[in-house]
Amino acid sequence: MTDTEEKGERIAKRLSRAGICSRREAERWIADGRVRVDGRKIDTPATLVTDASRIMVDGKPVAAPDRTRLWRYYKPPGQVCSTSDPEGRPTVFDNLPSDMPRVMSVGRLDINSEGLLLLTNDGELARRLELPSTGWTRRYRVRVFGNPDDQALAALANGVTVEGVRYGAIQARLDSARGDNSWLSVALQEGKNREIRRVMEHFGYRVNRLIRIGYGPFQLGKLVRGEVDEVSAKVVAEQTGGAATPRLRPKKPDRKPYKRPGQNKNADRRRNP
């Protein structure tokens, strides 16, 4: 056991690994005085905790993190990737199977996009897989209005600046064209918000369908819209550097484990059976 393991891990990281919030949210909760460790209100996300620590959020105990799990989901168009939406639009999490634990998405797809979305119960894993430094390529099938030529597509490999935002290299290939529409294969590593749509529109090609078919080693495969499929623990461990190692859980607390406030009963039931 390393010195770090003996001392424990930061509370913000533990809350994120438990799947109840992101690390950034945990920091806000701590600043708001909502988190206690061993009966003491804490004021810094650097506080170290161990498996023996009693962690409470809003007076409710936080269960120890379960083993890391990962799912592939075919996100249909028309769903947002937020846990709730102020405009009342359907979310990805409203339609998941009732036997799934609470999960979060690895990155996002905008409401009009569809295809592969990775879901996990481990906030730290989600955070790590979102970073461009993983080197994982995101692959898409993109339909645009117009007929891009090879020269225009090749220029994307050098990156482009759109309205002051610098986008990295994009690999794009014309697959087919019919009438006023063309299908492209697109690959990139960074994946900024609405990147493909903005870059294509910058060159005069409006995107009218966008399907993500791959995220690193994980593929959309034969999933159909709305279908979810769990990745085996062995594959998760192989592809994420052993992040799926099972974690021992202490005895369950007497009180119901903490769940994010503001969820309705149906949403709670779907994400926290």
Residues with catalytic roles: 110
CA distance 108 to 47: 30
- DSSP line for 199-226: HHHHTT-EEEEEEEEEETTEE-TT--TT
Its sign, for the CA torsion 128, 131, 137, 141, is positive
Whole-angstrom distance, CA of residue 103 vs CA of residue 123: 8
CA distances from 115 to 106, 135, 215, 271 (A): 13, 20, 10, 21
Nearest-10 Cα torsion for 250, 251, 255, 260? 30
Neighbours of 154 (CB within 10 A): 12
Cα gap 179→177, rounded to integer Å: 7
- CA proximity to 68, closest of 273, 257, 237, 238: 237
Q: How far apart are CA 209 and CA 228, in angstroms?
A: 21
CA distances from 189 to 22, 48, 102, 129, 173 (A): 22, 34, 27, 11, 16
